[in-house]
Amino acid sequence: MGLSIIQNAEREGRSVLTEFESKQLLKQAGIPVVETRLAKTKTEAVSRSREIGFPVALKIASPDVIHKSDSGGVKLGLSTAAQVKSTYDEIMGSVRRHYPGAVVHGVTVQKMVRPATEVIIGTMKDPQFGPVLMFGLGGLFVEVLKDVSFRIVPVSRRDAREMIEEIKGYPLLQGYRGKEPADIPALIEIILKVSRFIEKTPGIKELELNPVFAYKEGAVAVDARATLERSV
């Protein structure tokens, strides 16, 4: 099915996968992702919300809307069907104003999960070395401090552990000043699975799991974005 997701995007002449498509690929690769379902209509959004269980988040599902939050395409903490209905209309209206020509698949309905330490795991293709894997703290830490580590794919278990331990923010993952420590073995497994996935899927140009919520027990990708090697 992973190939069919990529092939479908290529048939449509696009190189950017939606968040939902990206998460489907990750799920097939055995990488834990937050439960996310696609809703093509307002009625489906309510139905999916009830299936998943409140509270939920709604996000615009469109390959043309990259920065979903900036365009009003993300709403969090919806706890009733009435809120889902009104929010669906708000999201669609806002996205149409910001991206009038965007192709919209609907919205994704996502289970709200408990916040945790945020990390980023990503890959890109270096012209000289090929696929490269990145790890770092998520949120402002990666945007402002650029506190990340890199390894060439394929990544070994030792590589994965070293990637985690060598970032400056590693003490935060250990439970700095009473903060809940992160499940380092779970993060290592995700890094290894991403590495194997990229090895087996040469059509992926870039992949970003941001944020990944790292809990005391386990870790889960909350958002994901993938781009293909070339648009056809």
Q: What is the pLDDT along the chain (232 residues), one digit of tens a residue?
A: 566 999 999 999 999 999 999 999 999 999 999 999 999 999 999 999 999 999 999 999 999 998 898 899 999 999 999 999 999 999 999 999 999 999 999 999 999 999 999 999 999 999 999 999 999 998 766 776 788 999 999 999 999 999 999 999 999 999 988 889 999 999 999 999 999 999 999 999 999 999 999 999 999 999 999 999 874 4
Dist CA 78 CA 82 (whole Å): 9
Q: What is the DSSP letter of 65?
A: -
pLDDT of 3:
64
pLDDT of residue 177: 83
The end-to-end CA distance of the chain, in Å, is 20
Q: What is the pLDDT of residue 67?
A: 83
pLDDT at 2: 61
Q: Which tokens sit at 56?
A: 């939920």
Domains, the chain, in order of start with CATH, read 35-112 (3.30.1490.20), 117-228 (3.30.470.20)
* Pairing, β 106-111 against β 117-126: unpaired
Closest CA to 121 of 38, 175, 198: 198
Q: What is the DSSP letter of 216?
A: S
Query: Per the structure block, which two tokens stand in for 197?
Result: 């996935």
Residue bearing tokens 């992160």: 182
Which residues 6+ apart lie within 8 Å of 35 measured at CB?
52, 110, 111
